[in-house]
Amino acid sequence: MRLLDQLDLPADLRRLDPVELRQLAVEIREEIISTVSQVGGHLGPSLGVVELSIALHAELHSPEDHIVWDVGHQSYAHKLLTGRLGVFSTIRRKGGLSGFPKRSESDHDAFGTGHSSTSVSVGVGLAEAARLSDARRPGRVVSVIGDGALTGGMAYEGLNQAGHLHTPLVVVLNDNEMSIKKNVGAMSSYLSRLRTEPHLYRLRRDLERRVQHLPGIGERVFAVGEQVKDGVKGALVPGMLFEELGFTYIGVVDGHDIGSLRAHLRRALAVRGPVLLHIKTVKGKGYAPAEIAPERFHGTSPFSVETGLVAKSLGRPMSYTEAFGRALVALAREDRRIVGITAAMAAGTGLDHLEREFPERFFDVGIAEGHAVGFAAGLAAAGMHPVVAVYSTFLQRAYDQVIHDVCLQKLPVVFAIDRAGLVGEDGPTHHGSFDLSFLRVVPNLTIFVPKDEAELQTLLATALTMRGPVAIRYPRGEGLGVPLPDPLLPLPATGPWTEVLSEGTDVLLLATGTGVELARRAALLLRDHGVEATVVNVRRVSPPDRGALSALLEAHPAVVTVEENTIVGGFGSSVLELLQEQRLRRPAAVIGLPAAFVAHGDLAGLHREIGFTSEVVADRALGLVRAE
């Protein structure tokens, strides 16, 4: 029988010998590989921290002590070590374990994560709360952050405060040189220098020891004050940057050596102040295909363990992401002012197409959405035409930059917002549920929502002819398989911004984005009930196409709106506002995502569960018509 099945974890970890701990690491890896091969998920990140997870749980007493996993996509081993082996196969499935740490799932999940670079701030909060508590033995706090997540500004805000407060917090920097792809930035180069000069660390400790032992001098050197010590440090201290911020820097430690990790963690936990423990790991460790192709295995769909290959879905429609990436390259060929910006999501957003063809006009700024938008604003102010390609959920990070740096100044930045709507297995941290609501209130911002991948290309071309800021939001996954525009031409400056797809006199279905297909199918269902619906594709949500929409509203006795965004404050709300503005009394139903965080699970299942289906659209329309 496996150790994994016999142990009472995490408590039993403390009584295992080094050989058994290594055996446990092997078993955890096998469990993760086998499960992710069936359900998909973040494989490489979790395989890289198996030894770290074991060492942390062996040295800490969770849940009294807290481990904060940055992003949390690497927490699978932690889940297996904290009583979730029996349900591990349900991970990312509807009703099953979350793919990220989640406080409601386990006491051992000290903090819920999913978005990057939060772990230091949260760690400082937990550690300061422990200092303020009357507990006899306040909980210790370890934040685990990747080198990719360390490109995010929030991490530095946390380090800044921890250094200032001298917070007793251990930050484990899990350095595998990778974000989703190869990490970028000056900090990454700095870490890489630290990694390649590990002898410096030993040298420093030797030197400190030797100076301290010089009879009569050593103690004085360290007592004389910081000046001399700083001189010694300046010459030799690796991690100087962190030391200057008030952290004790320990590193670089082999992140796959449990014994060494434990020893260094003990040392770090004994320091009364902030510590940065820099460890070096291999992403995908222990599974050859993932070690060779870490980007491919960062997050994967189900695959064959033997070959590492994912079953190809042949003959499927092109994804929205791909349609965007291709169109952008075509447009960039014609206009040298077009540049593309991503916050560490080149492949995810399709911006890798631009990277390949125009590398000098492609910018990966790291996991720094706020900076990405500020940077775009600067480029636009200087006459460039930047396109920020970003997931809806991560654009939340850059809201102030959208308002203050871009829209207030009417700068021509295009926001290409991917994964707008539900995303499925990644769940509530990643659903793009809110962008229509939070963007619709921003003056000067045009919001386009295409009904299919062809319209996405046309609207992108249109956005790039406009003088002000434009957001285009589109969903995750495949398009509808419609023919793509060739040649790719913009719409005229006057639109049309609404498109009547079919006409009927009984009810008006105003739909946007993925809602259009639902409305179209609902109209067919309604016909079976003798109800004739007008179906309208609203491709510009903001500013509302007042003239066209008012005329349509006036001509129909009832209206149903359909959007894949929260029903609070989104497209439907804009239609209700218009009804009121025009003093029109019409029974109305707003269909969209519920006013709640939607759980994780397969997309079709989630859509059914929340009632985002053509049947529900038809039902609600029937209800309104019959109540007439």
Residues lying near ligand TPP in the complex (CB under 6 A) are found at 45, 48, 71, 73-74, 115-116, 146-149, 176, 178-180, 283, 298, 343-345, 367, 369, 394, 397
> Least distance to ligand TPP from the beta carbon of 600, Å?
14
Which stretch of DSSP H or E encloses residue 609? Answer: helix 603-610
Identify residue 567 by its one-letter amino acid code: I
Give the residue with the Cβ less far from ligand TPP, 149 or 591: 149
Active-site residue 397, yes or no?
yes
Least distance to ligand TPP, CB of residue 347, Å: 11
Annotation marks residue 517 as catalytic: no
Least distance CB 397 / ligand TPP (angstroms): 5
Single out the catalytic residue among 27, 51, 59, 369: 369
Q: What secondary structure, in 3-state letters, does 245-295 show?
A: CCCEEEEEEECCCHHHHHHHHHHHHHCCCCEEEEEECCCCCCCHHHHHCCC
Please state the closest distance from residue 507 (CB atom) to ligand TPP, in A: 41
The least CB distance from residue 514 to ligand TPP, in Å, is 22
Q: Nearer to ligand TPP by C-beta: 256 or 520?
A: 256
Residue nearer to ligand TPP on the CB measure, 49 or 339: 49
CB of 123 to ligand TPP, least distance (A): 15
DSSP-derived secondary structure for 398-410: GHHIIIIIIITTT
Considering beta carbons, is residue 75 or 106 the nearer one to ligand TPP?
75
Cβ partners under 8 Å of residue 55, min gap 6 = 258, 261, 262, 265
> Between 346 and 616, whose beta carbon lies closer to ligand TPP?
346
How far apart are CB 68 and ligand TPP at their closest, in Å? Answer: 13
Our answer to whether residue 478 is catalytic in this structure is no
Q: What angle do CA 326, 115, 49 make, to 5 degrees?
A: 100
- Give the whole-angstrom CA distance, residue 155 versus residue 512: 37
Burial track 54-68 (b if 16+ CB lie within 10 A, e otherwise): bbbbbbbebeebbbb
- H or E, element range at 499: strand 498-502
Q: Is 265 exposed, middle or buried (0-12, 13-18, 19+ CB in 10 A)?
A: buried
Q: In the bound complex, what is the minimum distance in angstroms from residue 210's beta carbon to ligand TPP?
A: 36
The two three-digit tokens of residue 119, written as one number: 């772990």
* Nearest of 271, 266, 280 to residue 59 by alpha carbon: 266
Give whole-number Cα distances, 12 to 54, 79, 160, 441, 523, in Å. Answer: 11, 15, 37, 54, 61
Q: Quick one: tokens of 459?
A: 């609207």
In the bound state with ligand TPP, the residue whose beta carbon lies nearer, of 364 and 506, is 364
- Identify the active-site residue in 262, 283, 326, 419: 283
Q: Which of 262, 361, 397, 473 is catalytic?
A: 397
Provide, rounded to whole angstroms, the least separation between the CB of residue 345 and ligand TPP. 6
How far CA 559 is from CA of 218, 489, 556, 612, 624, in Å, comes to: 83, 32, 7, 17, 8
Q: Cα separation of 414 and 462, whole Å? A: 10
To ligand TPP, the closest distance from the beta carbon of 610 in angstroms equals 23
Q: Which is nearer to ligand TPP, 225 or 597 (CB)?
A: 597
Q: Are 623 and 589 in contact (CB under 8 A)?
A: yes
How far does Cα 47 stand from its chain's mean position?
Answer: 19
- In the 8-state DSSP scheme, what is residue 348? H
Secondary structure, 3-state, 14-77: HHCCHHHHHHHHHHHHHHHHHHHHHHCECHHHHHHCHHHHHHHHHHCCCCCCEEEECCCCCCHH
Nearer to ligand TPP, 397 or 620 (CB): 397
- Give the residue from 12, 133, 148, 169 showing the smallest Cα distance to 73: 148
Nearer to ligand TPP, 253 or 344 (CB): 344
**Partners of residue 146 on adjacent β-strands:** 174
Lateral strand order in the sheet of 446-448: 362-364, 338-342, 385-391, 414-418, 470-473, 446-448, 540-542
Q: Which is nearer to ligand TPP, 376 or 516 (CB)?
A: 376
* Nearest one of 365, 404, 410, 362 to 387, comparing CA atoms: 362
Residue positions annotated with a catalytic role: 283, 369, 397
